[in-house]
Amino acid sequence: MTLAVRYYSLSRNTKTIAQAIAKGANTTAISIMDEPELPEHVDLLFLGGAPYADIMSKHLREYAENIKPEMVSKVALLTTSNWSRRTVHALRKILTNRGIEVEEKYFYAHLLRIKAQIPAAEEFGKQHLETEK
């Protein structure tokens, strides 16, 4: 099973969580700004970012809108925010409308508790690694 972690982060909070998920899943977290599309098929893609002014970033939206359904079997979402989970809901809608399966369970980390959420993020990635074996 192949797993990948892709994220968009301005303040490094989402990057921190994405890296923790990747550590648990035994893979590498890569910014969508560094890799604008998946180079190969993945069985599970962890994808996410934070809302900025309560709106998903245009970069993350474009990335989600351009994922080729044949390049990913399933997506697990993640977000960091003070209170909003809008990014998760918006990504879920975009991806499911494109025929891409999205897991019901997602990872949310409150911005004031990023460091405290690192172990839980690692566990989220690890659970998926164990599930996908």
Band of pLDDT at residue 32, cut at 50, 70 and 90: very high
Give CA–CA dist 13/111, Å, rounded. 7
Beta bridge partner(s), residue 5: 29, 46
The per-residue pLDDT for range 57-69, each reduced to its tens digit, is 999 999 999 999 9
- Residue-range domains of the chain with CATH: 3-128 (3.40.50.360)
* pTM for the whole structure: 0.94
Give CA–CA dist 53/50, Å, rounded. 10
Band of pLDDT at residue 10, cut at 50, 70 and 90: confident
**Do the beta carbons of residue 9 and residue 22 sit within 8 Å?**
no
